[in-house]
Every structure is written in structure tokens, then in C-alpha cells.
Structure 1
Amino acid sequence: MATDSLPSWKSSLIELALQSNILTFGSYKLKSNRISPYFVNCGLFCRAKLIRAISEAYARELNSYAQEHKEWSFDVLFGPAYKGIPLCATTAEKLASLDEQRWGEVAYSFNRKEVKDHGEGGLMVGESLKGKKVVIIDDVMTAGTAIREAISIIDSQGGKLVGIIVAVDRQEKMPSQSEKDGKGDDGSPRGSTIGEVRREYGVPVMAVLTLGDLIVGMKKMGREEEVKRMEAYYEQYKPTD
């Protein structure tokens, strides 16, 4: 689950998230009713240096995947409203800064929550998705509901989904119905939400940071107590994929 080392940019991002209270430790009740020892509030990547850091991280991850898979490419970054909106715009710019020859023509697009009935009207803002290869960019993936809604929008607009990228992969199994009902985990083996989406749609699902990355980063900082709690949480909820 965890690797022995991290690229320097990942270590720097973890340190920045910790300093900015984006990554915090305590006892947090999730939508799944699980009690997590850590929480990543991606909505707090809202100041200039923070949005720069996270958008550069998305760009690095996308570029790295493209370098490893030469046949893979995309035309549009789609950011689902609302948190995906600043991410798609800033990451598109950072991709061009990273390699303008390769990424200079990448566009961004996002949806409105309510269809506009005046001016240009419509559901979408930015580049048309019709006939385009599209990557969804968002902050987290929990039950996968929001991602499936985004995929439905892409399909309705005539785009082709070729990938998904999120900020954090918690690397835990999907919640059971028993957990959703507040009755606790039934103990059955299950895959992760990201793994399920990957299998269902047959596209790469990337993450800037994983729980394994966070554990390695916190170990480097000597935060052994937090590391023990994250490792115990992983052991309790580790997926089968």
C-alpha cells in the first residue's frame, strides 16, 4: 500500500497541506459513517499559493501518466460544478506551462448546476465536449455518485471519457449498505470505489496523493502517532483491489 519514498513535489504538497490545515488529524465521521483518523479538505486549496500547488500537482500526475502511456491523450479537462471548476481551469494552464507543445491546446469545460435560459444559455461553460476526449478532474471520490453524474453529462454532450483524476485516493473499500444504514461494517471483502469505477468504465483513474503517500510523508516528518492511526484504519478498511 505504501511506498518507501516519494517524489519531492509530493512531499512538499503534503507538508503544505498540513501547514494550511487542509490535511488534519482527529476523529472525523465520513458519509459512510466510518470514523476516519484523518481528513483532507480540498476546498481549502483556495489561496493563490495553494491553488498553484494543487494545480501543478494535477498537471504533473497527468503528464507523468501520458509519458508512461504514449498512446493516451485528451482534449478537454472537465470540472464538475462546483469544486471542479477552479481545478479544470488552473490545471489546464499549468499543463501548458509544463509542456506547451504537448498541452498548449488542452481546453477546459464545466457544467452549471442550473441550465441558463438567457444569454448564451445552456448547461455547459467553456470548450464543447462534442467529439472530444475528456478527462474528469475533481477533488475526491467517495461512493462514485458524483463521478457517474459527470460521466452522464459528458455522454450527453457527445464527449468520450478517457480518464479521471482526483486529489486523494483514500485506498479503502466501498462502504457496505450496513455502514450506510449506520449499523457498522459487515466485514465482507470489497473493492475500492476507484477500482470499481476503473473496472466499470475501462479508463485510468489517477490520484495526486494516496493514503500510502500520506503515510510515507508523515513518517518522514516523524509523526509516528498519526502514521499508526492511518495504518490501523487502512487495515480495517483495505480493499480487495
Structure 2
Amino acid sequence: MGSSSSPEIPPYKADFLKAAIDGGVLKFGSFELKSKRISPYFFNAGDFYRADLLRAISTAYAKTILETESSSAPLEFDILFGPAYKGIVLASGTADKLAELAPQKYGKICYSFDRKEAKDHGEGGNIVGAPLKGKRILIVDDVVTAGTAKREAIDKIRKEGGIVVGILVALDRMEKLPSPDGDDTKPMPSAIGEIRKEYGIPVLSILTLDDIIGGLKGRGSEEDIKRLEEYRAKYKASD
């Protein structure tokens, strides 16, 4: 992939896409998903373990949040919440980058995360970091697959008295959920669409599958682009 300035997608998205590909976080080929579908691409946010890659994803999350400020629905929140385990680093890194990019507004932004198991000694409890009670919470995580983990996070936050105002993930696959009867020709919503509908909150992403395809045009393999477009046509969600 060449220069990060792309006519198809905003520069911050192109920068993130380039970092993800160069760092081996976004791979192209043939991958079996949990749903048993064979995907022509695979994204693993757990591979952002190198300092330059962590900086790239934190910057992309922060710029996605800042982009909403010029929209009709800006994100207003008090705390970034990272579900254990991947979300812990993502939320803390994003808080740091927001404070750097927009210190007047985010210089003292807080973050929190949950424990997988409640601590029964010391300060105890399920939450580490800023107290959630009465605060507006933005969940920061890698992807939404079936939505189970995000529902668990929302439940934990609400039990602590927090108000979930949105979810921000790295990638929206724009992919429909598997049909209960296994018929993948049926129109089905995406996991992200189901969460939006169920909780009435925005679910935003740094990249979508459309962004990946647009960012690769003129730079990536024509074969990879063709396979991505075919996959999108076959599994595109109805929402």
C-alpha cells in the first residue's frame, strides 16, 4: 500500500488501514470464522501490541471521536470504558491520545475497565478506574462479532449506575448474523445493527468493510479487492 492520502476515505482512516496492513493486523487470504464462513480477510486487534501500532490505533479511535464533533450527533461522554481484556489497552490508549489531540476538552478525560472476576479483597468490586455512577460512558473495543460481550459490558456498566451513550469499535464488518436455520441467503441484520436497535445507542467504527475496499483500490491486489466485494455482496447485512 502506498501513500496514506486516499481519495476514497479520510486520511486518518487511510493511515489506520495502512498501519493495520503493514503491521499484519489486517490480513488477506482465506480464513474460517466462528460462524464457519470463509472470509477473504481477517482483522485481529490483539496484534496491535507494538508501540507504533498501539499509537496508530489509539490515534484512529481518538480521531473518530473528534470527527463526530462536527456531525449532527457528537459523542458526549465522561468516561471511556474498555471491556477486559483487549478493551483495557484500547480505552487507556485512546484517553491518552484524546488528551494530546484536544487537551482543552479531553485533558482530564477518565477511563475504566472491568475485571473478569470480582475482587473480594482490598478495594473489591468489578470495576477498575474511574467510578461509573451517574457518568456517561463510551465503550471502546475491537469488534462486534455476535454482540454478547458488548451486552455483558452494558449490563455491568448499568449495574454500576453508569449511562452507556455509545460504542466505538475498530472495524464494522457490515456482515449479517447467521440465520438460525443456517440459510445464509435470508436477509439478516448485523450484530452492530442489533445492538443499535436493542439499546438505542450509536455504534461507531474506525473502518467499515466499505472503507477497506475503497482504501485498497489502486493500491491493493485486484484479486483481494474482487474477493472482498464478492464477500460483501454475499453476506451484507440488511440493516
- TM-score (norm. length: structure 1): 0.93
Structure 2 residue runs of 5 or longer lacking an equivalent are 1-5
Note the C-alpha offset of 1:70: 6.2
Partner of 2:3: none
Partner of 1:218: 216
Is 1:144 the counterpart of 2:147? The answer is yes
Note the C-alpha offset of 1:71: 6.0
* Equivalent residues of 2:68, 2:74 under 8 A apart: no
**For residues 210 and 186 of structure 1, do their structure 2 counterparts lie closer, same or farther at Cα, with a shift above 3 Å needed?**
closer
Note the C-alpha offset of 1:177: 2.1
Is 1:236 the counterpart of 2:234? The answer is yes
Q: Distance in 2 between matches of 1:192 and 1:200?
A: 12
Is 1:135 the counterpart of 2:133? The answer is no
Note the C-alpha offset of 1:64: 0.9
| Deviations, residues 188-208 of structure 1 (Å, cap 9, x unaligned) | 111111111111111111000
* Equivalent residues of 2:184, 2:235 under 8 A apart: no
| Deviations, residues 44-68 of structure 1 (Å, cap 9, x unaligned) | 0011100000000000001111331
1:54-133 alignment runs, 5 A limit: 54-69=57-72, 72-133=75-136
Q: For residue 194 of structure 1, what is the amino acid of its counterpart?
A: I
Note the C-alpha offset of 1:124: 0.7
Q: CA RMSD in A?
A: 1.5
Note the C-alpha offset of 1:72: 4.0
Q: For residue 117 of structure 2, what is the amino acid of its counterpart?
A: E
* Equivalent residues of 1:75, 1:105 under 8 A apart: no
**For residues 10 and 146 of structure 1, do their structure 2 counterparts lie closer, same or farther at Cα, with a shift above 3 Å needed?**
same
Q: Distance in 2 between matches of 1:160 and 1:225?
A: 45
Q: Distance in 2 between matches of 1:139 and 1:26?
A: 21
Q: Distance in 2 between matches of 1:70 and 1:210?
A: 19
**For residues 226 and 136 of structure 1, do their structure 2 counterparts lie closer, same or farther at Cα, with a shift above 3 Å needed?**
same
Partner of 1:209: 207
Q: For residue 210 of structure 1, what is the amino acid of its counterpart?
A: T
Partner of 1:227: 225
Aligned residue pairs, count? 234
My pick for the range that moved more, 215-224 or 149-158, is 215-224
Q: Which runs of 4+ in 1 moved over 2 A?
A: 69-72
Partner of 1:182: none
Among 155, 162, 167, the alignment partner of 1:164 is 167
Q: Distance in 2 between matches of 1:45 and 1:67?
A: 28
**For residues 93 and 169 of structure 1, do their structure 2 counterparts lie closer, same or farther at Cα, with a shift above 3 Å needed?**
same
Structure 1 residue runs of 5 or longer lacking an equivalent are 180-184
My pick for the range that moved more, 114-123 or 204-213, is 114-123
- TM-score (norm. length: structure 2): 0.94
Q: For residue 8 of structure 1, what is the amino acid of its counterpart?
A: P
Among 6, 10, 28, the alignment partner of 1:7 is 10
| Deviations, residues 155-176 of structure 1 (Å, cap 9, x unaligned) | 1000001010000000111122
Q: For residue 94 of structure 2, what is the amino acid of its counterpart?
A: T
My pick for the range that moved more, 41-50 or 67-76, is 67-76
- Give 3-state SS (helix, strand or coil) of 1:158's partner: coil
Q: Distance in 2 between matches of 1:105 and 1:203?
A: 24
Q: Distance in 2 between matches of 1:71 and 1:160?
A: 16
**For residues 72 and 88 of structure 1, do their structure 2 counterparts lie closer, same or farther at Cα, with a shift above 3 Å needed?**
closer
**For residues 139 and 236 of structure 1, do their structure 2 counterparts lie closer, same or farther at Cα, with a shift above 3 Å needed?**
same
* Equivalent residues of 1:111, 1:123 under 8 A apart: yes
